[in-house]
């Protein structure tokens, strides 16, 4: 199914400038953008993935990971094929990279209305646009998000943050929360490992916070790539500039896709990065891919009282009094 895209402009030479993401692709007639799912068809930019879902799942919201959005609830999770990044460590490369590597647009038909109906029937509290990059199925996600809000559901992006400010403005209050991958604090890493740049990601993070979107940040810590003490300190400082309440999830790397010559991240490295985050003034720093580690728990930023006890994606117990610490009455930032 094809669908007329949003956020583009036609040039006199027949090429189209896409204004959806930081690449700003200039697409010739019959050509596709870097995402490989937006095509110039006779002077009109169309989405090739609208209504074509490659994943429709019910996940714990903690799996996104989002620890401060309706803890313990389920999120109806959807994705299409395609991505505007080329990360050589991608954990979902089978679906994210297929349009670019094989030219294949896979998926099964699922309309926005059908998705919202299934989400409501499942008892989910939100819809997550996830697994691949939601920016590349923007029109599909946006139409679904409009219906989701009418049905009382939250909308969540799990994203690389490479959308334009124009795209975020166009969402117009439909986006409630986002987990943004801040993959590194070095432009070279983004260029070499992801085929992108750092600055648009930082700009999106600032923009989301200004818009009132609840933001959590995830960094996959890759040995020898983005785990230097200086870089982690700069990254933590930037996240702190967004607000000390902004959660930072520091996740353990395991060799995947093309990046197979690195060892899994050590537990010690994850904990060291966590300390750097806390020393920078962040209230909530979490350890990822370390099941059972106490670094997944949420404690009160004021008195240290255990507020949310987690074991992996499962909540053991929640100790909140109307969103506040029962010990000192300090509010816990997030959506509850």
pLDDT tens column, 16-75: 999 999 999 999 999 999 999 999 999 999 999 999 999 999 999 999 999 999 999 999
What is the spatial distance between Cα 196 and Cα 204, in angstroms, rounded to a whole number? 14
Is the separation of the CB atoms in 324 and 317 below 8 Å? no
Average pLDDT over residues 78-100: 95
Burial readout 181-197 (b: 16 or more C-beta within 10 A, e: otherwise): bbbbbbeebbeebbbbe
> Which pLDDT band holds residue 274 (cuts at 50, 70, 90)?
very high
What is the spatial distance between Cα 75 and Cα 79, in angstroms, rounded to a whole number? 13
Average pLDDT over the chain, rounded to whole?
96
Q: How many CB atoms lie within 10 A of CB 233?
A: 16
What is the spatial distance between Cα 11 and Cα 45, in angstroms, rounded to a whole number? 12
pLDDT tens column, 191-236: 999 999 999 999 999 999 999 999 999 999 999 999 999 999 999 9
Q: Tokens representing 287?
A: 């350890």
Single pTM value for the model: 0.96
């Amino acid at each position: 199914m094809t669908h007329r895209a949003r956020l583009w402009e036609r040039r006199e030479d027949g090429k189209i400038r896409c204004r959806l993401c930081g690449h700003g692709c200039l697409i010739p007639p019959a050509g596709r953008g870097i995402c490989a799912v937006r095509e110039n068809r006779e002077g009109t930019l169309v989405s090739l993935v609208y209504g074509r879902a490659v994943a429709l799942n019910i996940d714990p919201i903690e799996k996104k990971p989002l620890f401060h959005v309706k803890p313990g609830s389920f999120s109806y999770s959807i994705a299409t094929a395609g991505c505007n990044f080329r990360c050589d460590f991608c954990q979902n490369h089978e679906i994210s990279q297929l349009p670019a590597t094989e030219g294949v647009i896979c998926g099964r038909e699922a309309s926005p209305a059908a998705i919202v109906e299934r989400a409501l029937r499942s008892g989910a509290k939100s819809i997550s646009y996830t697994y691949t990059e939601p920016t590349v199925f923007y029109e599909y996600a946006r139409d679904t998000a409009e219906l989701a809000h009418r049905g009382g559901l939250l909308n969540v992006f799990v994203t690389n943050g490479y959308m334009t400010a124009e795209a975020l403005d166009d969402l117009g209050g439909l986006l409630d929360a986002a987990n943004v991958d801040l993959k590194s604090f070095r432009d070279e890493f983004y260029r070499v490992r992801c085929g992108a740049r750092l600055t648009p990601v930082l700009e999106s993070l600032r923009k989301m916070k200004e818009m009132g979107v609840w933001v959590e940040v995830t960094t996959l810590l890759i040995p020898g790539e983005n785990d230097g003490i200086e870089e982690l300190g700069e990254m933590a400082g930037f996240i702190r500039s967004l607000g000390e309440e902004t959660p930072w999830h520091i996740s353990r790397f395991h060799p995947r896709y093309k990046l197979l010559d690195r060892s899994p991240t050590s537990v010690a490295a994850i904990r060291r990065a966590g300390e750097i985050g806390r020393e920078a003034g962040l209230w909530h720093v979490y350890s990822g891919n370390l099941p059972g580690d106490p670094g997944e728990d949420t404690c009160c930023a004021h008195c240290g009282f255990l507020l949310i006890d987690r074991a992996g994606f499962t909540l053991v117990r929640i100790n909140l009094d109307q969103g506040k610490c029962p010990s000192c009455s300090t509010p816990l930032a997030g959506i509850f």
